[in-house]
């Protein structure tokens, strides 16, 4: 519930803070409608479309309507997948508008106590601290290794949570031991003649729950001739904060990351998570109002590259790659595709593997419904999207679904579990599959 | 506000889930793609089928509630802006392709079907539906028919009107009529089909349409001709047609448009030229090859600096797709984009292009021009900012001059975007008083309570005709 006073404050901030030029830039042509998953899945309701959302934001700014529950609902239901951006001929920066609007609403709202606790605990207390991330992840690891997880599953503890969460618990990867996470090496020599020096952005989730994938990434980089440095002091990219209306926190994290990477003279900064990459690439916009950071942010952003892009640049796909005969399909990471604009490279790499028949699924470019914490806060829409996604997966008869982002990876695993296909279909991160193919 | 008793009746017809009168639900149907027009409807209703439409219209006719039929709201004349409130009618439940008749070469559809979806299905059946408005990715057939939309293939194949064979229409009194049929010939009475085509939702609600299909052309070729002189490009257009070649597509883009499109599409369009012509020909391969050669020669003799033919179908497709984004791509340059639709006889295209440039200088406004040059249909587009009142006045004056010039050259105010609210004050310039009176008479006969899209087509206040050269 939003109180009258909160609404007034929100409206006021819309008037003073929303970027009017960007709102006007939308000429309401509607070219973005067919690309928007929530428009399609809601049975073509304009209020759940990009054009409708922009119109609502503008109307709140213009004072035509109040920021009521319906307006919030419309914004809440947005996946933030940004599929509306590459198709917009006017170049409307929808992602920025959404972030600003969410920030305003969040800053002016007193959340209910449990929500506040959760936000505070997770967004302030956890993600900005790699140490604590390691602790939580190790708790999870202990929970898994001790057999407690089996017990919890048996007594149905997880059934207290939304259905998606309960299933999600089953598909979480086994977390590496705390020791492995804490004592990681920070410098790796290339296996062949050096072609570039790269700094690796590990990502908070990737460096805990998906540590193995990070190791595979480094190994692949070494194989193509990269000297790899893992700068110390780097943090979570801040995407979860930025996307859920905690802009200030996100800014602090951005600055610390920029500082950490300035300590390395790298040609490129490499990420292996589309979601992080897309947020990192927006650091210059995030810090646009802070002149002393503008250039530093720009230089950071200009070096960013996704792992699949650098692998293609350095001819990884011409190496001898082989897997047992199988059909493989690829689910785009929305942010890798729509923001980093990287979508050909992963496909080029997969097609280069001997034994692999690459089959494009229908709507591979459409969001899988994971979208950060969307699958937890909007389970109904998320599961509806996922179920449609799984239909398209099944049509390809693929044995392996490849993704390029941890959130998508978990969501695809969840989809496999929900469909009862565990054991028959697997979901993997692209770098893990590539390493498998190389060995 | 809709009275609660009437609300109950309407909800009873369509069900709660298809009746929305929340403020945000109404707001998102308060606009279309026309800049500077916005008005809230009182409710938004999505009929499940044509019976629902009949019942809704009966209620609204009795209660004198305005009805605005709406496809995707991509029109550029304020056509779906509910200027007098009332009900916005959506066709999201009526969006099916009903039948492709391979013997009579027709397709029958519901009004909410997206143009491109229909074209894809028709082509998969080996047939061809030529009208292809740039907005076809989102526009609906109901909207195309009601605006009599044109497209890139209009030069050779005509516009929507030339493909509508039969319509099912619900009249304001709730009666349903069927016009035309799957017929090549039909002279039984007035041609009501043509009356409803382009009627902009002011006469009735289209609930079904049968459209003509033709065999798919065997092959096509696409080329670009580049110019350092805008008027040379315009002269080429007139020359090509005077030499009796009718290409499928003959599109014109000026420098600013090229840059904006390239900025978005990134397909390697030359950004250092003043104008380009995008030309396409289809048909049997020998004829296509001969025509393309011929056209290239004409362009060169009119000082084209370069002429290139697309090497593959994909490359050709990229070019035409990029052209379709011209308007929205221009919109990225300035907060407000006002586009016009003046059309002149093909032979006058060079004169018109020159006139537009002179008028822009005279009023000190920035106008980019692109359009279906082969049809004589140009889209002079003004990049401006609604917040700049002074400039907005100059823009309006410039467009008044452009309309006047077009009419002087034997042309019209709007070639394909319709009258709506945008052109209604100028309509009399084209039709004259007697012309308007006939149209008003038709409107009153069919819609005596003026519930169908009121406030469109016929303006309350007319603009005085400006006389150029005074
Ligand atoms: C970027 C862009 C490019 C465009 N390019 C072209 C182009 O190349 N050529 C061209 O001709 N136009 C073009 N247009 C204009 C517009 O797309 C067309 O007029 C299109 O036909 C409108 O379709 P719609 O479904 O959006 O209809 P809407 O805009 O929703 O409605 C248009 C009119 O049709 C009426 N209507 C809709 N459905 C029904 C129905 N079932 N019964 C009765 N009346 C109905 C409405 O009341 C309204 O008056 C363009 C627009 C944009 C934004
Ligand atoms: S966001 Fe872009 S594509 Fe969507 S309506 Fe606005 S201008 Fe058109
Ligand atoms: S970000 Fe995704 S869900 Fe949100 S409006 Fe854009 S396309 Fe739709």
Cβ–Cβ of B329/A89 closer than 8 Å? yes
For residue A276 the two structure tokens come to: 């992080």
Domain A4-108 class, CATH top level: mainly alpha
Cβ–Cβ of A27/B25 closer than 8 Å? no
Q: What's the rounded mean pLDDT across residues B397-410? A: 92
* Positive/negative CA dihedral, A6, A11, A14, A16: negative
Of the candidates B134, B33, B145, the residue with the CA atom closest to the CA atom of residue B91: B145
Measure the CA–CA gap between A77 and A39, rounded to whole angstroms: 10
Measure the CA–CA gap between B312 and A258, rounded to whole angstroms: 45
pLDDT tens per residue across span A277-299? 999 999 998 998 899 998 999 99
CA of A27 to the centre of ligand 2 (A): 6
Q: Does A120 score more than 80 pLDDT?
A: no
Helix (H/G/I), strand (E/B), else coil: B95: coil
The strand pairing partners of B381, in sequence order, are B339, B368
Mutate to test the pocket of ligand 3, among A31, A50, A367 (most ligand atoms within 8 A of CB): A50
- B313-316 long-range contacts (CB < 8 A, ≥24 apart) are B315/B222, B316/B220, B316/B221, B316/B222, B316/B280
Task: Determine if ligand 1 sits within 6 Å of the CB of residue B327.
Answer: yes
- A106-110 long-range contacts (CB < 8 A, ≥24 apart) are A106/A244, A106/A245, A106/A246, A107/A13, A107/A245, A108/A6, A108/A9, A108/A10, A108/A13, A109/A2, A109/A6, A109/A10, A110/A3, A110/A6
| pLDDT for res B232 | 92
Q: If one looks up domain A317-438 in CATH, what number appears?
A: 3.40.50
Of the candidates B213, B99, B96, B100, the residue with the CA atom closest to the CA atom of residue B164: B213
The total of other beta-carbon atoms located within 10 Å of residue B99's CB is 11
Helix (H/G/I), strand (E/B), else coil: B414: strand
Identify residues of B whose CB sits under 8 angstroms from chain A CBs.
22-25, 27-33, 35, 38, 40, 72-74, 92, 114, 135, 137-138, 263-264, 325, 327-329, 331-332, 335-337, 385-386
Measure the CA–CA gap between B410 and B16, rounded to whole angstroms: 52
Q: What's the rounded mean pLDDT across residues A90-113? A: 85
| pLDDT for res A163 | 55
- Domain made up of A181-311: CATH architecture: Up-down Bundle (1.20)
pLDDT tens per residue across span A214-228? 999 999 999 999 999
For residue A199 the two structure tokens come to: 């700094």
Q: What's the rounded mean pLDDT across residues B113-130? A: 97
Of B24, B40, B264, the CB nearest to A91: B264
Q: What's the rounded mean pLDDT across residues B322-338? A: 86
CA of B147 to the centre of ligand 1 (A): 6
Q: If one looks up domain B97-215 in CATH, what number appears?
A: 3.30.465.10
The residue of chain B nearest to residue A87, with distances taken between CA atoms, is B264
Measure the CA–CA gap between A160 and A198, rounded to whole angstroms: 45
Cβ–Cβ of B27/A56 closer than 8 Å? yes
CATH 3.30.70.3450 residue ranges for chain B: 219-323
Of A55, A70, A92, the CB nearest to B23: A70
Helix (H/G/I), strand (E/B), else coil: B212: strand
CA of A75 to the centre of ligand 3 (A): 9
Say which ligand is closest to the CA of B327: 1
What are the strands of the beta sheet with A354-358, ordered from one edge? Answer: A354-358, A322-330, A400-403, A426-429
Most confident by average pLDDT, A323-332, B329-338, B386-395: A323-332
Crossing angle of the two packed helices A69-76 and A94-107, in degrees rounded to 10 = 130
Task: Determine if ligand 2 sits within 6 Å of the CB of residue A24.
Answer: no
Q: What's the rounded mean pLDDT across residues A106-126? A: 60
Task: Determine if ligand 2 sits within 6 Å of the CB of residue A90.
Answer: yes
Mutate to test the pocket of ligand 1, among B143, B171, B195, B205 (most ligand atoms within 8 A of CB): B143
Measure the CA–CA gap between A261 and A303, rounded to whole angstroms: 10
Q: Looking at per-residue confidence, does A126 or A348 come out higher?
A: A348
- Which of chain B's residues have a Cβ under 8 Å away from the Cβ of A64? 27, 38, 40
- Which of chain A's residues have a Cβ under 8 Å away from the Cβ of B253? none
| pLDDT for res A132 | 54
Cβ–Cβ of A44/B336 closer than 8 Å? no
Optimal mutation site among B88, B328, B337, interface A, most CBs of chain A within 10 A = B328
CB B417 within 8 A of CB B452: no
Q: If one looks up domain B4-90 in CATH, what number appears?
A: 3.30.43.10
Rg, chain B, Cα only: 22
Q: Looking at per-residue confidence, does A293 or A146 come out higher?
A: A293
For residue B279 the two structure tokens come to: 């030309």
Of the candidates A363, A295, A377, A439, the residue with the CA atom closest to the CA atom of residue A34: A363
| pLDDT for res A159 | 43
Q: Does A50 score more than 70 pLDDT?
A: yes
CA of A279 to the centre of ligand 3 (A): 16
Of the candidates B52, B70, B85, B61, the residue with the CA atom closest to the CA atom of residue B6: B61
B345 Cβ partners below 8 Å, 6+ apart?
B376, B409, B410, B411
pLDDT tens per residue across span B192-236? 999 999 999 999 999 999 999 999 999 999 999 999 998 899 899
**Ligand 2 atom nearest residue A27's Cα:** 7
Q: What is the mean pLDDT of chain A?
A: 85
Measure the CA–CA gap between A322 and A327, rounded to whole angstroms: 13
Say which ligand is closest to the CA of B419: 1
Taking CA atoms only, the protein residue closest to ligand 1 atom 27 is B143
CB A345 within 8 A of CB A309: yes
Q: What's the rounded mean pLDDT across residues B135-159? A: 95
**Ligand 3 atom nearest residue A35's Cα:** 7
| Global ipTM | 0.91
Q: In sequence order, what DSSP letters do the residues of A116-183 get, joined into one string?
A: HHHHIIIIITTTT-HHHHHHHHHHHHHHHHTSHHHHHHHTTGGGGS-HHHHHHHHHPPPPPPHHHHHS
CATH 1.10.1060 residue ranges for chain A: 4-108
Q: What share of chain A is helix, strand, coil (3-state, %, to 5)?
A: 55, 10, 35
Confidence of residue A341 (pLDDT cuts 50, 70, 90): very high
Measure the CA–CA gap between A14 and A58, rounded to whole angstroms: 8
Taking CA atoms only, the protein residue closest to ligand 2 atom 3 is A88
Confidence of residue A147 (pLDDT cuts 50, 70, 90): very low
Cβ–Cβ of A46/B138 closer than 8 Å? no
| pLDDT for res A118 | 54
DSSP symbol at B218 = S
Task: Determine if ligand 1 sits within 6 Å of the CB of residue B76.
Answer: yes
Q: What's the rounded mean pLDDT across residues B376-393? A: 90
Say which ligand is closest to the CA of A385: 3
Task: Determine if ligand 2 sits within 6 Å of the CB of residue A31.
Answer: yes
Q: What's the rounded mean pLDDT across residues A289-318? A: 94
| pLDDT for res A177 | 62
Burial class (CB in 10 A: 0-12, 13-18, 19+), B208: buried
Q: Looking at per-residue confidence, does B131 or A6 come out higher?
A: B131
Percent of chain A past pLDDT 90, that is, above it, reads 62
The total of other beta-carbon atoms located within 10 Å of residue A390's CB is 21
CATH 1.20.1050 residue ranges for chain A: 181-311
Q: What angle do CA B420, B27, A1 make, to 5 degrees?
A: 180
**Ligand 1 atom nearest residue B148's Cα:** 11
Q: Does B26 score more than 60 pLDDT?
A: yes
E strands, B248-302, in order: 249-254, 275-283
Q: What's the rounded mean pLDDT across residues A85-99? A: 93
CB A235 within 8 A of CB A204: yes
Of B27, B72, B331, the CB nearest to A30: B72
Measure the CA–CA gap between A39 and A425, rounded to whole angstroms: 29
The total of other beta-carbon atoms located within 10 Å of residue A423's CB is 7
Say which ligand is closest to the CA of A26: 2
Q: What's the rounded mean pLDDT across residues B274-291? A: 94
Report the relative pairing of strands B275-283 and B249-254 from DSSP bridges. antiparallel
**Ligand 1 atom nearest residue B70's Cα:** 30
Q: Does A157 score more than 70 pLDDT?
A: no
Taking CA atoms only, the protein residue closest to ligand 2 atom 4 is A32
E strands, B91-152, in order: 97-101, 106-109, 127-128
* Residues having CB within 6 Å of any atom of ligand 3: A 35-38, 50, 53, 78-84, 94
pLDDT tens per residue across span A243-284? 777 888 889 999 999 999 999 899 999 999 988 899 999 999
Helix (H/G/I), strand (E/B), else coil: B451: coil
Of B25, B38, B332, the CB nearest to A47: B25
Q: Does A116 score more than 60 pLDDT?
A: no
Q: What is the mean pLDDT of chain B?
A: 93
Q: What's the rounded mean pLDDT across residues B147-169? A: 95
pLDDT tens per residue across span A345-377? 999 999 999 999 999 999 999 999 887 778 777
Fold (CATH) for B334-417 = Alpha-Beta Plaits (3.30.70)
Q: Does B166 score more than 80 pLDDT?
A: yes
CB B340 within 8 A of CB B228: no
Fold (CATH) for B219-323 = Alpha-Beta Plaits (3.30.70)
The residue of chain A nearest to residue B22, with distances taken between CA atoms, is A70
> What φ, ψ does residue B173 adopt, rounded to 5°?
-80, 5
Q: Does A378 score more than 90 pLDDT?
A: no
What are the strands of the beta sheet with A268-271, ordered from one edge? Answer: A187-188, A226-229, A196-200, A268-271, A304-306
Cβ–Cβ of A24/B32 closer than 8 Å? no
Q: Does A393 score more than 90 pLDDT?
A: yes
Q: How many residues does chain A have?
A: 439
| pLDDT for res A387 | 93
B321: closest CA of chain A, how far (Å):
11
Q: What is the 3-state secondary structure (H, E, C) of A62-131?
A: HCCCCCCHHHHHHHHCCCCCCCCCCCCCCCCCHHHHHHHHHHHHHHCCCCCHHHHHHHHHHHHCCCCCHH
Q: What's the rounded mean pLDDT across residues A139-155? A: 47
Measure the CA–CA gap between A351 and A318, rounded to whole angstroms: 11
- Which of chain A's residues have a Cβ under 8 Å away from the Cβ of B138? 29-31, 33-34
Percent of chain B past pLDDT 70, that is, above it, reads 99
CA of A146 to the centre of ligand 2 (A): 52
Cβ–Cβ of A24/B386 closer than 8 Å? yes
CATH 3.40.50 residue ranges for chain A: 317-438
Q: What's the rounded mean pLDDT across residues A142-148? A: 48
* Positive/negative CA dihedral, B193, B199, B203, B208: positive
- Which of chain B's residues have a Cβ under 8 Å away from the Cβ of A46? 28-29
- Which of chain B's residues have a Cβ under 8 Å away from the Cβ of A90? 328-329, 331-332
The strand pairing partners of B67, in sequence order, are B87, B452
CB B339 within 8 A of CB B257: no
A374: closest CA of chain B, how far (Å):
22
The residue of chain A nearest to residue B385, with distances taken between CA atoms, is A24
Cβ–Cβ of B325/A89 closer than 8 Å? yes
| pLDDT for res B204 | 98
Measure the CA–CA gap between A385 and A41, rounded to whole angstroms: 7
Helix (H/G/I), strand (E/B), else coil: B207: strand
CB A247 within 8 A of CB A103: yes
Cβ–Cβ of B325/A31 closer than 8 Å? yes
Cβ–Cβ of B32/A27 closer than 8 Å? no
**Measured between alpha carbons, how far apart are the two ends of chain B, in Å?**
49
H/E stretch holding B417? none
């Amino acid at each position: 519930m939003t109180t009258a006073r909160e609404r007034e404050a929100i409206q006021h901030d819309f008037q003073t803070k929303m970027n009017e030029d960007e709102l006007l830039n939308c000429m309401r042509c509607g070219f973005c409608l067919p690309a928007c998953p929530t428009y399609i899945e809601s049975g073509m309701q304009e209020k759940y479309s990009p054009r409708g959302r922009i119109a609502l934001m503008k109307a709140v700014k213009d004072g035509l309507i109040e920021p009521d529950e319906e307006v919030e609902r419309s914004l809440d239901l947005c996946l933030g997948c940004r599929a509306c951006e590459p198709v917009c001929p006017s170049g409307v920066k929808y992602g920025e508008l959404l972030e600003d609007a969410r920030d305003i609403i969040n800053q002016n709202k007193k959340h209910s106590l449990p929500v506040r606790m959760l936000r505070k605990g997770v967004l302030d207390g956890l993600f900005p601290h790699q140490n604590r991330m390691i602790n939580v992840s190790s708790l999870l690891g202990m929970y898994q290794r001790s057999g407690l997880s089996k017990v919890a599953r048996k007594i149905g503890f997880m059934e207290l949570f939304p259905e998606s969460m309960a299933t999600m618990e089953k598909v979480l990867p086994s977390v590496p031991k705390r020791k492995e996470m804490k004592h990681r090496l920070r410098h790796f020599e290339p296996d062949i003649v050096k072609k570039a020096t790269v700094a690796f952005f590990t990502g908070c989730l990737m460096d805990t729950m998906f540590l193995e994938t990070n190791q595979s990434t480094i190994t692949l980089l070494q194989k193509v001739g990269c000297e790899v440095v893992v700068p110390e002091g780097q943090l979570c990219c801040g995407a979860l904060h930025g996307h859920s209306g905690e802009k200030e926190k996100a800014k602090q994290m951005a600055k610390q990351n920029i500082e950490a990477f300035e300590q390395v003279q790298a040609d490129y900064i490499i990420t292996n998570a589309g979601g992080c990459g897309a947020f990192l690439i927006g650091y210059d916009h995030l810090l646009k109002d802070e002149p002393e950071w503008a250039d530093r942010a720009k230089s950071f952003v200009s070096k960013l590259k996704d792992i699949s892009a650098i692998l293609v640049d350095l001819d990884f796909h011409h190496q001898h790659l082989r897997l047992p005969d199988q059909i493989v399909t690829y689910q785009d990471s929305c942010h890798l595709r729509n923001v980093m604009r990287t979508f050909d490279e992963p496909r080029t790499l997969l097609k280069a593997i001997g034994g692999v028949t690459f089959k494009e699924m229908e709507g591979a470019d459409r969001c899988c419904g994971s979208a950060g914490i969307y699958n937890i806060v909007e389970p109904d829409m998320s599961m509806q999207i996922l179920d449609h996604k799984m239909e398209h997966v099944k049509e390809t008869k693929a044995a392996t679904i490849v993704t390029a982002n941890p959130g998508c990876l978990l969501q695809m695993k969840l989809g496999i579990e929900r469909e009862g296909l565990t054991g028959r279909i697997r979901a993997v991160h692209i770098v893990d599959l590539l390493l498998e193919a190389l060995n | 506000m809709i009275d609660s008793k009437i609300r109950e009746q309407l909800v009873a017809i369509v069900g709660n889930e298809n009746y929305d009168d929340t403020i945000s639900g109404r707001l998102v149907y308060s606009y279309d793609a026309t800049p500077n027009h916005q008005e809230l409807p009182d409710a938004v209703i999505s009929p499940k089928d044509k019976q629902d439409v009949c019942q809704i219209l009966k209620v609204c006719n009795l209660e004198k509630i305005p009805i605005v039929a709406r496809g995707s709201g991509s029109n550029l004349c304020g056509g779906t802006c509910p200027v007098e409130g009332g009900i916005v009618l959506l066709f999201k439940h009526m969006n099916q392709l009903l039948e492709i008749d391979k013997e009579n070469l027709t397709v029958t559809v519901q009004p909410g079907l997206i143009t491109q979806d229909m074209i894809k299905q028709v082509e998969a059946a080996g047939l061809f539906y030529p009208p292809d408005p740039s907005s076809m990715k989102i526009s609906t057939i109901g909207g195309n028919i009601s605006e009599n939309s044109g497209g890139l293939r209009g030069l050779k194949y005509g516009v929507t009107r030339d493909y509508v064979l039969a319509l099912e229409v619900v009249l304001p009194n709730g009666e349903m009529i069927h016009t035309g049929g799957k017929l090549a010939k039909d002279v039984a009475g007035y041609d009501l089909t043509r009356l409803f085509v382009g009627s902009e939702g002011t006469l009735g609600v289209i609930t079904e349409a049968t459209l003509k299909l033709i065999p798919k052309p065997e092959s096509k070729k696409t080329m670009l001709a580049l110019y350092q002189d805008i008027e040379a490009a315009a002269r080429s257009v007139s020359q090509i047609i005077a030499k009796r070649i009718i290409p499928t597509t003959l599109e014109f883009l000026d420098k600013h448009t090229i840059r904006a499109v390239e900025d978005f599409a990134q397909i390697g369009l030359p950004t250092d030229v003043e104008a380009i012509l995008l030309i396409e020909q289809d048909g049997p391969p020998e004829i296509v090859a001969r025509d393309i050669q011929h056209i290239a020669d004409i362009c060169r003799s009119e000082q084209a600096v370069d002429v290139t033919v697309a090497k593959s179908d994909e490359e050709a497709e990229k070019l035409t797709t990029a052209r379709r984004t011209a308007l929205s791509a221009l919109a990225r340059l300035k907060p407000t984009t006002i586009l016009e639709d003046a059309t002149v006889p093909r032979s006058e295209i060079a004169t018109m292009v020159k006139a537009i440039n002179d008028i822009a200088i005279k009023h000190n406004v920035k106008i980019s021009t692109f359009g279906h040059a082969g049809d004589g249909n140009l889209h002079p587009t003004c990049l401006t900012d609604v917040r700049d009142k002074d400039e907005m006045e100059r823009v309006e004056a410039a467009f008044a001059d452009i309309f006047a010039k077009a009419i002087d050259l034997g042309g019209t105010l709007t070639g394909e975007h319709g009258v709506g609210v945008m052109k209604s004050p100028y309509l009399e310039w084209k039709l004259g008083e007697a012309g308007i009176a006939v149209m008003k008479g038709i409107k009153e006969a069919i819609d005596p309570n003026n519930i169908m899209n009121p406030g469109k087509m016929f303006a309350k206040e007319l603009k005085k005709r400006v006389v150029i050269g005074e």
